[in-house]
Amino acid sequence: MVLKILTLNCWGLLVVAKHRAQRIRAIGEVIAAGEYDVVCLQEVWLERDFALLKEKAKGSLPYSHYFYSGVTGSGVCVLSKHQIQDVFFHQWPVNGYIHKIQHGDWFGGKGVGLCSLKINNFNCSLKINNFNINVYSAHLHAEYNRASDEYQAHRVLQAFDTAQFIQLTSGSSDLVILAGDLNTEPGDLAYRIIMNVARFKDSYLEVKDENPPARFGTNETSENSYTPKCLVKKGFVGKRIDYIMYHGSESINVILKNYRLPLPNRVPNCNFSYSDHEGVAAEFELEKSNGEKFEDKNADSAAVLKESIQICNDALSNLKTTAIIYWFITAFLFLLLVSSIPFDAPFGYRYVIHIVRGLLTLFLTFTLIMGSLWHKIESHGILSGRLAMEATLKKYESISK
């Protein structure tokens, strides 16, 4: 049994994303060629774009599912050659801020999507009648400023939540695959959480060829037409933040046969790339196993969780400080608004006073909500994740004793 997987962040933002319509059509032509068994896409924000991709690929990938969530939809979808048996979407409890419109992650209601595939009698030599594959696709919160990352705690919690969700839902699977834009580089804490807690293998690191892939960056590569020119001039090789991770089971051994970045640098007959991300493809060969022996990662997992718990503690401390600041601003705006009530503006300027009072009321409402309701929601989301980490940490520590 050979299984070919493709993942791609399509950069399908309306208006903001350049050449979106042309690129979506070109992506549709690639997946319609029938080379892949499963395709995981992210940032497909518009329903009409998903409908176009689904229509183009229906001959080779007749089964598909879009994970609706949030205001704009999660942007995550899966297209498959094999029938999709079950689907589920787990939305993360912490996912950015509603007022950070320039970032927009909150509006997507991001999370991790699961498509369970069942292949019947795919290979008589394996003597398996029903082969179960769990395909997970996710798009973690973006990192907008690596030097000062205000979303680190959110991304760490999303990574742990994803690893925990996969562990709890993949018990009966013969093959588990996580594909998507994880917005975390190898070595980062979020990456280490997923790799250790969910017991994954990174396709890029498992390549056994004598000549490993020359290209490894999947975002902001020098070959991509959408990479800022300042980075190209510096010779920036790009970041590897798009992944295909996997592990087998007691009955199935998974052999990585190929890993590559399959898309050319430019859409044919065009001067732009398919996306601001590179596509990632992996080919797996599945064979019967007497029982896969998972690498003992308990010690690494415990260390990663301790580091993650500290990140959560720091985030909770920062939230308390932020809430106090919001309450001070709220009190100041309230006093300013009250003090303006007896003020009688000169004739002809009353409309200015009304506008100022209206703006003060809006700002006061915003700071009040951020210091009370939003503070509670975010604090509880982080606290919930920290408690889950602590419970998992105790499990690893008891095993190692």
Burial status of residue 232 (CB atoms within 10 A of its CB: 0-12, 13-18, 19 or more):
middle
Query: Amino acid identity of 198?
Result: A
Question: Does 65 qualify as catalytic in the annotation?
Answer: no
For residues 50 and 75, the answer to whether their CB atoms sit within 8 Å is no
Single out the residue of 293, 294, 295, 306 nearest to residue 397, CA to CA. 306
Which single residue is written with the structure tokens 């996997």?
Answer: 246
- Phi and psi angles of residue 86, each rounded to the nearest 5 degrees, phi first: -140, 150
Which single residue is written with the structure tokens 């010779």?
Answer: 235
**Which one is catalytic: 65, 154, 277, 375?**
277
Strand partners, 385: none
**So which residues are the catalytic ones?**
277
